């Protein structure tokens, strides 16, 4: 067998052994479930009942928006956050004005919103 034929057969053999590359598909972003929406809305409704009603700012964001430099979301109240199921990394629930948002911390992208419920 000549050297050229040997190299060609070797190359073909190696090409046949290569495993196909598997592409990872990203898991879909979580959203607020109906139960979570109900629980969050009820908590803030009850909390407003404890004190004077405050004027709420207009809805600030919608799903798909990215947090801007001047926007400063706040953590959910600890007792409310404790009642909700854990979220996968890198997601977190926050309040932004009167809205409760579900945020991807890595991309700063808002994946879901419950508008006008926070006080």
Q: Which pLDDT band holds residue 49 (cuts at 50, 70, 90)?
A: confident
Average pLDDT rounded to a whole number, residues 46-59:
68
Q: CA 2 → CA 6, 7, 11, 15, distances in Å?
A: 6, 9, 14, 20
How far is CA 101 from its chain centroid? 9
Q: Which pLDDT band holds residue 83 (cuts at 50, 70, 90)?
A: very high
Neighbours of 92 (CB within 10 A): 15
Cα separation, 73 vs 61, whole angstroms: 11
Cα separation, 62 vs 103, whole angstroms: 11
Q: pLDDT digit string (tens) for 7-33?
A: 555 555 555 555 555 555 677 889 999
Domains and CATH numbers, the chain: 33-114 (3.10.450.160)
């Amino acid at each position: 067998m000549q050297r050229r034929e040997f190299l060609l057969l070797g190359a073909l053999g190696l090409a046949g052994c290569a495993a196909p590359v598997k592409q990872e598909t990203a898991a879909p972003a979580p959203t607020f479930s109906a139960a979570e929406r109900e629980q969050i809305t009820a908590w803030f409704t009850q909390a407003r009942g404890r004190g004077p009603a405050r004027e709420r700012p207009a809805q600030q964001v919608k799903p798909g928006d990215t947090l801007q430099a001047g926007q400063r979301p706040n953590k959910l109240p600890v007792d409310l956050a404790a009642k909700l199921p854990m979220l996968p990394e890198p997601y977190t629930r926050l309040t932004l004005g009167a809205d409760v948002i579900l945020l991807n911390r890595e991309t700063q992208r808002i994946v879901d919103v419950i508008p006008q419920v926070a006080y």
